[in-house]
Amino acid sequence: EAGVAQSPRYKIIEKRQSVAFWCNPISGHATLYWYQQILGQGPKLLIQFQNNGVVDDSQLPKDRFSAERLKGVDSTLKIQPAKLEDSAVYLCASSLGTGAHNEQFFGPGTRLTVL
Amino acid sequence: AQSVAQPEDQVNVAEGNPLTVKCTYSVSGNPYLFWYVQYPNRGLQFLLKYITGDNLVKGSYGFEAEFNKSQTSFHLKKPSALVSDSALYFCAVKNNQGGKLIFGQGTELSVKP
């Protein structure tokens, strides 16, 4: 079974530039998550999708971050414009459903450096 | 509010010795508890989870965790550590109403030969 795919793996940009990350979840997983992991911290949920609908985006900085999952499969996360404090690893995860017992499966992440 | 504490930033163990990585939690309602491991430049990998039932949960790679409701703890254990167990370990919790998964700050495990 293929895992969660993410691209690119690394990205370096200047502040105020834009960047986009892509995620392809495990086949059949209805729930998709984007996390931000700052160095030395645990992952923090940015947004959760159930199929193509948003379940929770309470911690997404909506003035600069946006995410979509138009066909209920792949997802993109965009930052525009980027700030220095956005430097982090962005992790995508998926699970079969939103049930509390469902474990999440994580992709390898995209390491973003904002200069 | 839900929270997870991993009181040790780093745990050092000699190969072959038992290891424990500590985790305590705070959640409203019944907790669902998870352990994940992260190797360098890799995503998080699921190790085990506690949902209900036996307090001792067995997971991947010989790891196990003990749920203690009175102490609100979910410590990760392994009887005999391997050098290849060296990695970053995260404890996470959510409540049984399906709330978001909250992670601890992580514990760096170092196993020396």
Query: B11-15, B59-63, B95-99, B108-112: lowest mean pLDDT where?
Result: B95-99
Give the nearest partner residue to B43 out of A44, A48, A108, using CB atoms: A108
A107 contacts B43? CB cut-off 8 A = yes
Q: What span, in angstroms and rounded, lies between the C-alpha atoms of A46 and A64?
A: 12
A104 contacts B103? CB cut-off 8 A = no
Helix (H, G, I), strand (E, B) or coil at B85: helix
Average pLDDT, stretch B83-105?
A: 89
- Angle formed at CA A108 by CA A102 and CA A113, multiple of 5 degrees: 125
In A, which residues are within 8 Å of B4 by CB distance?
A: 42
Q: What pLDDT, on the 0 to 100 scale, is given for residue A1?
A: 62
Question: Measuring CA to CA, which residue among B37, B45, B32, B48 is closest to residue A106?
Answer: B45
| Chain B nearest C-alpha distance from A108 (Å) | 4
Chain B interface test: which of A37, A38, A39, A60 (most B C-beta within 10 Å) = A37
Q: What is the DSSP string of chain A?
A: ----EEE-SEEEE-TT--EEEEEE--TT--EEEEEEE-TTS--EEEEEEETTEEEE-TTS-TTTEEEE-TTSS-EEEEESS--GGG-EEEEEEEES-S-TTPPPEE---EEEEE-
Average pLDDT, stretch B20-42?
A: 92
pLDDT at residue A100 greater than cutoff 90: no
Q: Which amino acid is residue A32, in one-letter code?
A: L
In chain A, what is the greatest distance between 2 CA atoms, to the nearest angstrom? Answer: 40
A42 contacts B4? CB cut-off 8 A = yes
**A37-69: pLDDT as tens digits:** 999 899 999 999 998 899 999 999 999 999 999
**A3-44: pLDDT as tens digits:** 999 999 999 999 999 999 999 999 999 999 999 999 989 999
pLDDT at residue B16 greater than cutoff 80: yes
Does A56 contact B at CB distance below 8 Å?
Answer: yes
A vs B, Cβ pairs < 8 A, gives 55
Q: What pLDDT, on the 0 to 100 scale, is given for residue B86?
A: 96
Instruction: Report the share of chain A in percent with pLDDT over 70.
Output: 99
Give the nearest partner residue to B44 out of A41, A44, A91, using CB atoms: A91
Phi, psi of B83, deg, nearest 5: -55, -35
Q: What span, in angstroms and rounded, lies between the C-alpha atoms of B51 and B94?
A: 10
Helix (H, G, I), strand (E, B) or coil at B107: strand
Q: What pLDDT, on the 0 to 100 scale, is given for residue B98?
A: 64
In angstroms, the Cα distances linking B107 to A14, A15, A52, B110 are 32, 31, 35, 10
